[in-house]
Chains A and B, each alone.
Chain A
Amino acid sequence: MDKIKSQLDFILPRVEKPARYIGEEWNIVKKDHSKTSVKMVLAFPDVYEVGMSHLGSHILYHIVNLRSDALLERVYTPWGDMEQELRRAGLPLFSLETKTPLFDFDLIGFTLQYELSYTNILNLLALGQIPLRAAERQEDDPFVLAGGPCAYNPEPLAPFLDLVVLGEGEEVIGELIAIFKDWKQQQGTRHEFLTAAAKVPGVYVPAFYVVDYDSKGCIKSIRPTETGIPEQIQKRVVRDLDGASFSCQPVVPYLDTVHNRSMLELFRGCTRGCRFCQAGMIYRPVRERSRETLLKQARELLARTGYDEISLSSLSSLDYFEIEKLIDDLVSEHKSAGVRISLPSLRADSFAIEQAEKIHPLRRSSMTLAPEAGSQRLRDVINKNVTEDDLLTAIEAAVAAGWRAFKLYFMIGLPTETEQDVAAIATLAQKVAAVKADGRQITRVTVSTSNFVPKAHTPFQWEGQLPRGELRKRQQLLSSKIKGRKVEHRWHDPDQSFLEAVFSRGDRRLAVVLEKAWQLGCRLDGWSEYFRMDLWEQAFAETGCDPEFYANRAIPENETLPWQHLSPGLELDFLLTERSRAFLGLTTADCSFKQCQACGVCTALRLPLKRRGERM
């Protein structure tokens, strides 16, 4: 610890953005390790600026550190220069709070937010001097835990993880701490701890399951290897969000981070039902906080952080049942102190513009909207219930209110997409660029296109991703159709999207590829300055793995999926129905406003069916 502190004086002047590694932020919690029974560290598989913008990490940090028997510290992925300095100095990666090496903790938790951060997990373990594979870890080594959205298919990481938590972690973490304390007192074996942990609802121990494959390489079965281990693990959710603990004193970074503002969580879940969207499927059902609670939390957040901005951070925040009143109250309470309110994303409708207008009375820089597809036909396929009229009316209202620049998000390669659908994006963008209102014009339209990635537990989980060459061709086709100085096209790298698809639908056989790629030097793959497709190709070739099997193959509906034993509570029938409705071009209504669509989540979690605004 002291060695690390003294070495930092030499190392930090040599790296870019040393504030990433110093800790000492406002609201940091430092505890005495010798007086705390359970020592945990949250390892974020991306750089500090990204990790500090993750709301879930702040919530867990708060919940664990409130306890007297446990502590939770933080570590983020070092940038390449810092990794080099650590290796040169022979220093282990350490926590920001007490500069404790990772290997000295009892539990290391990773949040799986993005498939291209997987090599960072191996790198964090290696730099923390912890054996990579769960099977190699000894009694003194930490347990490695993972959660987050990608934990609904953690299979490519299975051999590296001791435990996986499905769903919301705030209750599970306490249960695991209790089990750990008992286990430590009884001086049990690692196996004994895992057996006890596997009995906690929502906890998945990959080592307790075996996967069999058929001659074609498809999965035949996934079975528990021990008695008393469930065949399927059901996710956990917090039933009463209004009463749930929320951090009103999050750690405040020195550096300018991705979301450098206080975050207010209005609700969890989104039932709009966009068929490509994993978040919309796995975070169900919708649970809202009351306006009184939110106003109180906003007040406390601002007082304890000193931020001058508060962001309404939920999926589709404007769906909150009392959004108008909430925004009015927030504006009237905090405006005089110069506090701004921000919305991360907007639905393309007039109501959204009205709210945005209230929030940004002066600053009218750029507005971001996400129509996702260019033609009405394709928007119906993906269940994005926004019409061209909605969009153009909304934009007209925004132009009248003073906005000049717009950013439009679309996806290329969605199921059933044709060249006409791609061309329709360009047409729509031109129409947007031509909108005029009250004599004002638009100065800039940025069309930003990502590539469709099929995700586990969505109605599109069976669809193959278009081959990379085809994705590139369609992106280029769109570029060629976009005309005029006002409209600009930016697109995601199809190679990165391909890799994302490989891992999002991957199974345990990808673990060797991941390890190989990491050995070859792959890391920070989500960052274009580090992404090396050539090394990934080499890793696939050397391990004899065909990545197209995972990314591009249409999976038959009756095939066993790698994530079949992990359940966010959705009925298979619901996903299949949504899939066939997609191909028929039929949209499905949002159950939080209209009738129940029988997705199965409320039943599986034994929660009452309710609409927005109805109390639990």
Chain B
Amino acid sequence: MRIRAKIAKNEILRFISHLDFAGVLEKAVRRAKLPLELSRGYTPRLKISYASALAMGTTSEAEYADFYLRERMPVTEFVRRLNGQLPGGIKVITASQVAANAPSLMAQIRAASYWVTAELLQSSPEQLEQEWEQFLQQDKIIITKTTKRRTRQIDIVPLILATRFYPGPKSSSWDLLVASGSAGNLRPEELLEAFFAHSGFAGKIDRIHRTGLFIERFGQLMSPLARLRPAEELGEGL
């Protein structure tokens, strides 16, 4: 049985890494004595797979993980028992059974949405709005991505899927939908840094919060929990 859970990571626990977050879930599963499958190999591990790693310092209400169970159990009981063993700041919001042969979460993720707030002191809201429009109207927005191995220049225009800007006199906010996953990935801070560089404003990002992760079906972005088959076909029958 495969259960997909949508998990929130909030408050001070935003300062733990993705690896530590995985450790929290594994230990909680063990404490809750949930019947997870074990991987084969030298060091057997609980079979849990993740959608995408969240940057340290970012809060989220849309982390997804698939739990592979060796015994069937009601999804509500799974959620209740897991939540009973999770520290404050990490919580399963909802969960649902997915088909055992569904593609892996990580391979399916196409986009992520974020709520970002930043301080931009130098300008009036009107001027900011204008600058943001100008920034987006460019044919190309080139940023430099540095990974451990190399630096490369990429155009992020195709990676910006939708945005809404809420300029304020002191603090401004953005609602961002950007490409995420192996086919193309844009981090919200990369987008905003590019904007700061383009406009010449000195900006300071206060908070980044992930509001959603999306997979693609029939050319549409939808939630990884969107159900595509009737519940009874999965044998859920709850």
Query: A254 contacts which of B23, B33, B45, B88 (Cβ < 8 Å)?
Result: B23
Report whether B43 and A340 are in contact in the complex, using a CB–CB cutoff of 8 Å.
yes
* Interface bracket on A: 20 to 34
Query: Measured between C-beta atoms, what is the minimum distance from A28 to chain B in Å?
Result: 9
* Nearest chain B residue, comparing its CB with the CB of A22: B12
Bound Cα distance from A363 to B42, whole angstroms: 5
How far, in Å, is A438 (CB) from chain B's closest CB? Answer: 20
Cβ of B236 < 8 Å from any Cβ of A?
no
B56 touches A308 (CB 8 A): no
Contact B24 A254, beta carbon cutoff 8 Å: yes
Question: Which one of B14-22, B101-109, B194-202 is at the A interface?
Answer: B14-22
The residues of A that contact B57 with a CB separation of less than 8 Å are 12-13, 18
A49 to chain B, nearest CB (A): 12
Return chain A residues, CB-CB under 8 Å to B19. 256
Closest to B27 in A: A306
CA distance A37 to B89 in the complex (A): 30
Give complex CA distance A25, B23 in Å: 12
1/0 contact string of B3-37 vs chain A (CB within 8 Å): 00000000011011101100110111111010000
**Residue contact A306 to B31, C-beta cutoff 8 Å:** yes
Q: Is the CB of B26 within 8 A of A24?
A: no
Task: Report the stretch among A160-168, A297-305, A421-429 that lies at the interface.
Answer: A297-305
Give CA–CA (A340, B13) in the complex, Å: 28
Choose among A19, A24, A256 the residue that contacts B87 (Cβ–Cβ < 8 A). A24
Q: Across the interface, which residues of A come within 8 angstroms of B26, CB to CB?
A: 306, 308
**Interface of chain A residues 296 through 345 with chain B (CB within 8 A):** 302-308, 337-338, 340
Of all chain A residues, the one with the shortest Cβ separation from B207 is: A9
B31 touches A24 (CB 8 A): no
Q: Are the CB atoms of B38 and A254 closer together than 8 Å?
A: no
**B27 pairs with A307, CB closer than 8 A:** yes
Flag if A19 contacts B31 (CB, 8 Å).
no
Q: Indicate if the CB atoms of B87 and A26 lie closer than 8 Å.
A: yes
Judged by a CB distance under 8 angstroms, whether B62 is at the interface is no
B98 is an interface residue with CB less than 8 A from chain A: no
Contact A303:B31 (CB < 8 A) given known A13-B57, A24-B89: yes
Contacting pair B30 A19 (CB below 8 A):
no
Q: State how many angstroms separate the Cβ of A52 from the closest Cβ of chain B.
A: 13
Q: Chain B: how many interface residues by the 8 Å CB criterion?
A: 29
Which B residue sits closest to A306, measured CB to CB? B27
A254, A302, A363: which contacts B20 (Cβ < 8 A)? A254
Distance A302 CA – B45 CA, assembled complex (angstroms): 15
Contact between A305 and B43 (Cβ–Cβ < 8 Å)?
no
For window 337-379 of chain A, which residues contact chain B by CB distance below 8 Å?
Answer: 337-338, 340, 362-363
A101-B20 Cα distance, complex, nearest whole Å: 27
Point out which of A13, A255, A304, A338 has the most chain B C-beta atoms below 10 A from its C-beta: A338
Q: Judge if B46 is at the interface, Cβ distance under 8 Å.
A: yes
* Interface residues in A204-256 (C-beta closer than 8 Å to B): 252, 254-256
B56 touching A18 by the CB < 8 A rule? yes
Q: How far is the CA of A363 from the CA of B29 in the complex (A)?
A: 23
Q: Which residues of A, 265-320, contact B by the 8 Å Cβ criterion?
A: 302-308
Given contacts A303-B31, A306-B26, whether A19 and B20 have CB atoms under 8 Å apart is yes
Shortest Cβ distance from B159 into chain A, in angstroms? 24
A25, A304, A338, A362: which contacts B45 (Cβ < 8 A)?
Answer: A338
Q: Provide the bound-state CA to CA distance between A22 and B10, in Å.
A: 13
Whether B237 sits at the interface, judged by CB under 8 Å, is no
Find out whether the CB atom of A305 lies under 8 angstroms from the CB atom of B31: yes
Contact mask for chain B residues 175-197; partner A; CB cutoff 8 A; 1 contact, 0 none: 00000000000000000000000
Q: A61 CB to closest chain B CB, in angstroms? A: 17
Any A CB within 8 A of the CB of B85: yes
A597–B197 alpha-carbon span in the complex (Å): 77
B29 to chain A, nearest CB (A): 7
B31 adjacent to A304 (CB under 8 Å): yes
Q: Which residues of A contact B16 (CB under 8 A)?
A: 19, 22, 254-255
CB-defined contacts of A26 to chain B, threshold 8 Å: 24, 27, 87
Please tell me if the beta carbons of A252 and B27 are within 8 angstroms of each other in the complex.
yes
Q: How far is the CA of A107 from the CA of B66 in the complex (A)?
A: 47
Q: From residue A489, how far is it (CB to closest CB) to chain B in Å?
A: 28
Chain B 83-114 per-residue mask, 1 if CB under 8 angstroms from chain A, else 0: 00101110000000000000000000000000
Bound Cα distance A26, B32 (Å)? 13
User: Taking the nearest CB of chain A, how far is it from the CB of B104, in angstroms?
Assistant: 21
Known A-B contacts: A12-B57, A19-B16. Give 7 more (CB < 8 A): A8-B12, A24-B12, A254-B20, A303-B33, A305-B31, A337-B30, A338-B45
For this complex, 9 residue pairs linking A to B, each with C-beta atoms less than 8 Å apart, are: A8-B12, A18-B57, A26-B24, A254-B23, A304-B31, A306-B28, A306-B31, A308-B26, A362-B43
Chain A residues engaging chain B, CB cutoff 8 angstroms:
8, 12-13, 18-19, 22-26, 252, 254-256, 302-308, 337-338, 340, 362-363
Residues of B within 8 A of A (CB): 12-13, 15-17, 19-20, 23-24, 26-31, 33, 38, 41-46, 56-57, 85, 87-89
